[in-house]
Amino acid sequence: MPSVKPRIRARISPYNHNRLTLLTRQSRHSQAQIVDKALTHYFRSNEDDVRDEAFLRRLDLMTRHDLRHSQDLRVLTEGFTLFMRYFLTVMPRVNDADRGSRASEGTQHFNVFVDRLADQMKGGGYTFKNALKDVLTTDNDFFTREEISRMKKHQTIAVNDGAEVVDAAE
């Protein structure tokens, strides 16, 4: 005995009725099967929208992180380029007689540099970024228009005789 499915009655537009009738004639499916598949697809698309929303939030977060990393990489590349340009400009020429001793001294300096870099990276490695925070400004470092207007209301100007006058005209 086939399973008993719930029965519903619904009113649809004449356009959808004509299309449903045409599709029923063209396929081997009944109107009930087509409507059931359409409802399944409709409800599944709502579930997919919820899933896609979470996916899009995660992609947005990853995009922002990628932009931040790209900016960090650009800053580091530009800084390294400027350093190399400066270094190659001021670097003195090395005599052939001093070349061996200078090479061993350079190797020692490089090993000290690598050790310091390893120590810095173990501690978090944000020296360059922290130095940039001291130099770079953001929108939060500036006054907003509302703050400026409030300051203008309370701005005082010293007059020659020592009395203060509130300058509310501006």
What confidence tens digit (pLDDT) does each residue in 50-86 have? 788 888 889 999 999 999 899 888 988 898 899 888 8
Condensed to tens digits (0 to 9), the pLDDT of residues 85-144 reads 888 888 888 888 888 888 898 899 989 888 887 887 787 766 666 666 666 666 666 777
Per DSSP, which regions of 2-158 are E strands?
156-158
Q: How far apart are CA 54 and CA 82, in angstroms?
A: 42
- What is the predicted pLDDT for the residue at 3? 74
* pLDDT at residue 26 is higher than 70: yes
Q: What is the distance in angstroms between the CA of the first residue and the CA of the last residue of the chain?
A: 88
What backbone phi and psi angles, to 5 degrees, belong to 125?
A: 65, 35
How many other C-beta atoms are found inside a 10 Å radius of the C-beta of residue 11?
5
